[in-house]
Amino acid sequence: MKFDSPATTSPIDRGRVIGKPLDRIDGPAKVTGTAPYAFERHDVAPNAAYGWIVGAAIAKGSITSIDSGAAEAAPGVLAVVTHRNAGPLAKGNMNTAHLLGGPGIEHYDQAVALVVADTLEQARDAAKLVQVDYAPVKGRFDLAAERDMAIKAPDGFGGAADTAVGDFAGAFARAAVKIDQSYTTPDHSHAMMEPHATTAAWNNGKLTLWTSNQMVALTLKDVAKTLGMKPEDIRLVSPYVGGGFGAKLWLRADALLAALGARAVGRPVKVAIARPQIPNNTTHRPATIQRIRIGAGKDGVIDAIGHETWSGDLPDGGAEMASQQTRLLYRGDNRMTAHRLATLDLPEGNSMRAPGEAVGLLALEVAMDELAEACNLDPVELRIRNDVQYDPEAGPQRPYSSRKLVECLRHGADRFGWSRRQARPGHMRDGRWLVGMGVASAFRGALTTDSAARVGVDGMGRVIVETDMTDIGTGSYTILGQTAAEMMGVDLAAVTVRLGDSKFPVSAGSGGQWGAASSTAGVYAACLALRRSLAEKAGFPVDQATFEDGLVRFGNQSQPLGKLAGRDGLWAEEKAEFGDLAKRYAQATFGAHFCEVGVDADTAEIRIRRMSGVFSAGRILNPKSARSQVIGAMTMGVGAALMEELTVDTRFGFFVNHDMAEYLVPVHADIPAQDVIFLDELDDKASPLKAKGVGELGICGAGAAVANAIYNATGIRLRDYPLTIDKLLERAKGSALFQG
């Protein structure tokens, strides 16, 4: 099915199942611990041996010798896999560094060996017996120091590295009000709760990987490439993913080494990347330095806007595209964005939840707060004045498919009680707490990608959905079930959804917030085809048959689905292909974050007091799970604002705080009640269901609202994230607000 013209009325619009805040259908499995994750596949891979990864002790250089003799002689050890005995390995298309290092070492904790043993205890112990000697060479680890050596970044997934419209330099120079500030964001770790994990088994030259992965087909392709295998000889199964946030988009060392280990020992092998290895062995969101220049009139209307981003990655890596949203979010005839990429020998930088916008808005939305102050304007009003209903680079000929940013801001301000905010910083007090309020726009692109599914009806009238789509906590099981239930006219309870298996049709996968809109489109397409088959089988005119209550109806005739499907069932497979609507229309999701913080007047401890967000993202397929996505992302935004930072040791070239005791993410006590509202909206140009994703929107701008609230509370403008006590105190010296 080609989606190349706006969606018209469809059975989805009935809204009997779609759009309802239904409980997740995978809920009972998750709350009872019976949902099987990748390391838990005793059911399908009994008697698996255990692999333990040995990580490189240097950041850059080479291995001069490996002595695995002691490890091999240790009790229970079955094999030690290293680059010397692993056989030829290519590098996956999506990998920047090799997943098994040696002799060259590209980053700290790059895997250099896998020790396989009968038990986990034996493997973990023997891993320490592998003696590796290295010849280190000097690496580059300091983004600020390498900034001047940075070159133009390759174009990213989200667009061109450099853009220019009008005369930015001239307009900025002429502007009545100018903002020119730099901001920094540190390296972030996904820190999903389930470590990367895989159980691998070989059978007659064919490989099965039960793994924790967001993108089944993409990763399978890289498994094939890396191992030099035919894709059809590989099966990848990922039904439950214990969080990903981008960490599990790709083939990682757990899956490759489990496959190599299992081949070496002729028995299933399972490998989890140990938590202290994750930050340096796997990927992270790269640190950025961002410079933002905004030139506006005294009325706050933007005439010139420029956003430059510097980030670093290993050779042949990619940039953090943090300037992206600045191309699209606000008006202004004169614009420029640029991305510069430095070579760093730190672990591989890559996607993390809302790559680009998540950290781009940490800068842009603070710059907007600074502009509001410079213009003596309310920051909500400033954003409203700079709204634009079309792609400001392309002009009115490329309108937004839908854009309700202004409504989000207005509605949010009302709900939050924004009018109570004191514009002058440092003028709200609650006991020992300096209180402040902040606002930020939320913006995230509404990407879609082709997605296929297979839908069937069995003889009992149950509807079955199969697609390699993953549910990484996003609610895919439920919204795909809802889509099929709505289309086929059955209750959600009558739908079985099977996901995350490469035997199933190739879906969009989970990433970039494209999953919901894309994968439901695939299921929708398959359901349309299945409806046709069923109607034909019933002898009803396809266009006039209706599906409800488990029946196909035409006039006063009806036939039960199960009877039509027969004993063998009836199946249809279809792919939704997205045409050029996204070219003709700018497509994005929008929102407005409001946050109130308290800052301790003595100690500068910062606490979130309340958060509120209003969002606009097309049809909300399931308001319950969508809300959860958004509050979770808002919390990750709080983490980015207040505490998250992979600390770089620029001498040894590694992330020092590589565990969950030292890399802090928000806990329960950090997060009070969060208020989330979705505006009623249908975007007929976004997807057949008129829906867009929300999984990343919530993080976009959330941290900036926190930062702006801190400024409002204290009068101290911090521009280097995370906004911690030490930075606030450094600037608090002499501040009357901080009594000390």
Partner 1 sequence: MRPFTYERATSVDGAAKAAAAVQGARFIAGGTNLLDLMKLQIETPAHLIDVNHLGLDRIEPTPEGGLRIGAHARNTDLATDKAVRRDYAVLSRALLAGASGQLRNKATTAGNLLQRTRCPYFYDTRMPCNKRKPGSGCGAIKGASRSLGIIGVSDACIAHHPSDMAVAMRLLDATVDTVAASGARRSIPIADFHRLPGETPHIETALTPGEIITSVTLPRPLGGRHIYRKVRDRASYAFALVSVAAVFGKDGSARFAFGGVAPKPWRVAEADAAAGAGAGAVAEAVLAGARSTAQNDFKKGLTARTLASVFRQTEGRP
Partner 2 sequence: MTSENISRRGLLHGSAALVAAVPAFGVVQAGVAPGHKASERTSMASVGMTINGQDVHLQLDPRTTLLDALREHLHLTGTKKGCDHGQCGACTVIVEGRRINSCLTLAVMHEGEEVTTIEGLGTPDKLHPMQKAFIVHDGYQCGYCTPGQICSAVAVLDEIEAGIPSHVTDDLDHVAFSDVELRERMSGNICRCAAYPNIIAAIRDASGHGAAEDKA
Q: How far apart (Å, rounded) are the C-alpha atoms in residues 723 and 43?
A: 47
**Taking CB under 8 A as the criterion, which residues in 353-382 touch partner 2?**
none
Partner from partner 2, partner 1, none contacting 736, C-beta within 5 to 8 A by type? none
Partner from partner 2, partner 1, none contacting 26, C-beta within 5 to 8 A by type? partner 2
Identify the helix (H) or strand (E) that includes residue 180: strand 177-185
CA contacts within 13 A on the Cβ side of 310? 19
What's the length of the chain?
740
Total residues interacting with partner 2, rule: CB under 8 A: 72
Total residues interacting with partner 1, rule: CB under 8 A: 42
Partner from partner 2, partner 1, none contacting 725, C-beta within 5 to 8 A by type? partner 1
Q: Is 277 helix (H, G, I), strand (E, B) or coil?
A: helix
Contact call for residues 300 and 386 (beta carbons, < 8 A): yes
DSSP 480-505: HHHHHHHHHT--GGGEEEE-SBTTSP
Tokens of residue 128, six digits: 């320490």
Partner from partner 1, partner 2, none contacting 142, C-beta within 5 to 8 A by type? none
The reply to whether omega before 722 is within 30° of 0 (cis) is: yes
Partner from partner 2, partner 1, none contacting 605, C-beta within 5 to 8 A by type? partner 1
610 binds partner 2 (CB under 8 A): yes
Identify the helix (H) or strand (E) that includes residue 729: helix 725-732
**Taking CB under 8 A as the criterion, which residues in 111-170 touch partner 2?**
119-122, 125
607 binds partner 1 (CB under 8 A): yes
- Strand 429-430 vs strand 151-152: parallel, antiparallel, or unpaired? unpaired
- 146 noted as active-site residue: no
Partner from partner 2, partner 1, none contacting 230, C-beta within 5 to 8 A by type? none
420 binds partner 2 (CB under 8 A): no
The amino acid at residue 390 is: Y
The amino acid at residue 355 is: P
65-73, 212-220, 240-248, 720-728 -> range binding partner 1 (CB under 8 A): 720-728
Each residue 15-34 as x (binds partner 2 by CB under 8 A) or -, in order, gives --------xx-xxxxxxxxx
For partner 1, the closer CB: 373 or 644: 644
The amino acid at residue 495 is: V
396 binds partner 2 (CB under 8 A): no
**Taking CB under 8 A as the criterion, which residues in 265-294 touch partner 2?**
272, 274-276
133 binds partner 1 (CB under 8 A): no
Q: How far apart (Å, rounded) are the C-alpha atoms in residues 164 and 169?
A: 10
DSSP 643-659: T--B-EETTTTEES--S
**Taking CB under 8 A as the criterion, which residues in 205-264 touch partner 2?**
240-245
Contact call for residues 478 and 462 (beta carbons, < 8 A): no
558 binds partner 1 (CB under 8 A): no
Q: Catalytic pick from 232, 320, 696, 730?
A: 696
For partner 1, the closer CB: 129 or 592: 129
Q: How far apart (Å, rounded) are the C-alpha atoms in residues 606 and 624?
A: 30
Tokens of residue 339, six digits: 């991305």
> Which phi and psi angles does 361 have, rounded to 5°?
-75, -20
Residue 360 to residues 183, 289, 347, 354, Cα–Cα distance (Å): 10, 10, 21, 10
For partner 2, the closer CB: 104 or 276: 276
488-496, 522-530, 619-627, 665-673 -> range binding partner 1 (CB under 8 A): 665-673
Question: What amino acid positions are annotated as catalytic residues?
Answer: 696
What residues make contact with partner 1 under the rule CB under 8 A? 57, 75, 121, 124-125, 128, 276, 431-432, 600, 602-605, 607, 642-643, 647, 649, 651-652, 656-659, 661-662, 664, 666-670, 724-726, 729-730, 733, 738-740
